[in-house]
Every structure is written in C-alpha cells, then in structure tokens.
Amino acid sequence: MIEREATVFVIDDDPSVRRGLERLLRSAGYLVELFASSREFLERAQCDQAACLVLDVRMPGQSGLELYESLVGGGYDIPTVFITGHGDIGMAVRAMKVGAVDFLPKPFDDEVFLDAVRGAIAARSRSRGDGKRRHPESFRSSSQE
C-alpha cells in the first residue's frame, strides 16, 4: 500500500499522547516523526517528507493553529488533522477555513483517527495529481466535496 511508505508528523506537547499516537500510526503501517512543540517542528522537520500533519491545537508557546497558519502562509501545503483537548465550534471552523482536513476532539477512537489520517494523505495525492499548488480557497472547496 502507498500508505505504508507515507510519513506522518505528530506535534503534541503531551508525551503520553504523543507516544500513543505514534504507536497507533505505526500499527497502521505509517512512518512517524514526533515533535513536542511548534518550535521543535520548525527547527528540525523536513516538510517535504511529510505526507500528513497531526497537530495539537493548544500547546505552550506557539499554538497548533498559529503554526499551521504560518505554514500555509509560507507556501507549505501539508494536509493536516487537528486534535484538541477541548474543541469548540469556533475553533473547528477556523481550522477548516485555513485548510485543515479534519478536526478531532480528544479523546478519539483509533478508527476515526486513522480514517482522518488516511483521508488527509489521499487529499494530498489528489492535489499532487493536478500537478500544481493549490490556493487555500480551492483547498477548501475541494474539501467540501
């Protein structure tokens, strides 16, 4: 499967949650890179290798949402699944607007999570098939399909 070769980047400040997500993704056959904060991600992540981003919204320092906005603003277009300890509608809307693929409130079921990651990677493949970079607006319209 294509999935087995894909690498998922996980960014969460909670070590236990981080390790649990890594194990789930590994059991599903993904390669996983773990980051404890936005700053760590920006320091050592090689975004080209990322098939998908799993991003915690609330973290000390730069929040997940802010990190994602800066990535989009910098031209990086990585399909992203947001996870949050206390999601609310406003936050979900904002995440989707900037191009998130999915938004999961913690705690979540393993199948739901893996489906979301799978969906994100698939979205990336489709956009690669177009052979051009997408604008956030077009991303949004496609995600609404």
Partner 1 sequence: MSVVGSFRRYALGALAVGVAYYVGANLGFILRFPPATPSVMWPPNAILTAALLLVPPRWWWLYLLAAFPAHVAAELGVDWPAPLVLALFATNCSEALIAAVFIRRFSDEPARFDTLRRVVIFIVGAVLLAPFLSSFLDAAAVAAFLGESYWVVWRTRFPSNVLTELTLVPAIVMLVTAWPAWIRRAPRRRRVEAAILAVALLAVEIVVVAGTEDVGAIPGAPGTPLAFLSPLVLWAAVRFGPAGASLSLVTATLFAIWAAVHARGPFIALTLGESVAALQIFLTIVAIPLMCLAALIEERRRAQEALTERLRFEEELSGLSGAFVHVSSHEMDRAIEIWLGRLGNFLGLDRLILLRLADDQQTLAIAHSWAAPTLEPLPPASHDFSSVTARIRTKQPFVFPIPGVHPDEATRPDDPFGRHGIKSMLIEPLVAGGRVLGGLAFVAMVAERTWPEDLVQRLRLFAPIFANALSREASENAMRANESMKSAILASLSSSVAVLDREGRIIAVNEGWARYALQQSATPEAVVDLGANYLDTWRQAAREDTQHASEALMGIKAVLDRSRSGFTLEYPSHAGTGECWVAMSVVPLTRPEGGAVISYTEVTERKRAEVEAQRSRQELAHFTRVSTIGELTASLAHELNQPLTGILTNAQAARRFLDATPPDLGEIRSILRDIVEDDKRAGEVIQRLRDLLRKGESEFRPLDLNALIRDVARLLGSDTIIRNVALTLDFAPDPPIVTGDRVQLQQVVLNLLLNAMEAMAESGEGARTVVVRTQSTEMDTVQVAVQDTGTGLPAGTEDMVFEPFYTTKPAGMGMGLSIVRSIIDSHGGLIWALNNPTRGATFHFALPLARERSV
Binds partner 1 (CB under 8 A): choice among 3, 96, 110, 127: 110
What is the C-alpha separation between 27 and 25, in angstroms, rounded? 5
Q: Choose the binding region for partner 1 from 40-48, 59-67, 70-78, 120-128 (rule: CB under 8 A).
A: 59-67
How many residues touch partner 1 under the rule CB under 8 A: the total is 23
User: Which lies closer to partner 1 via its Cβ, residue 27 or residue 141?
Assistant: 27
Residues 119-138 interacting with partner 1 (rule: CB under 8 A): none
Helix axes 89-97, 136-143, angle to 10 degrees: 120
User: Which lies closer to partner 1 via its Cβ, residue 28 or residue 42?
Assistant: 28
Among all chains, which residue has been given the structure tokens 């949004």? Answer: 140
What is the C-alpha separation between 144 and 21, in angstroms, rounded? 27
What is the C-alpha separation between 32 and 8, in angstroms, rounded? 5
Binds partner 1 (CB under 8 A): choice among 4, 44, 86, 132: 86
Binds partner 1 (CB under 8 A): choice among 20, 36, 40, 138: 20
Asked if 87 contacts 55 with a C-beta cutoff of 8 angstroms, the reply is no
Q: Which residues contact 59 (CB under 8 A, 6 or more apart)?
A: 11, 12, 13, 37, 38
Q: Is 14 in the site for partner 1 (CB under 8 A)?
A: yes
**Interface positions with partner 1 (CB under 8 A):** 14, 16-17, 19-21, 23-24, 26-28, 58-60, 63, 85-86, 106-110, 113
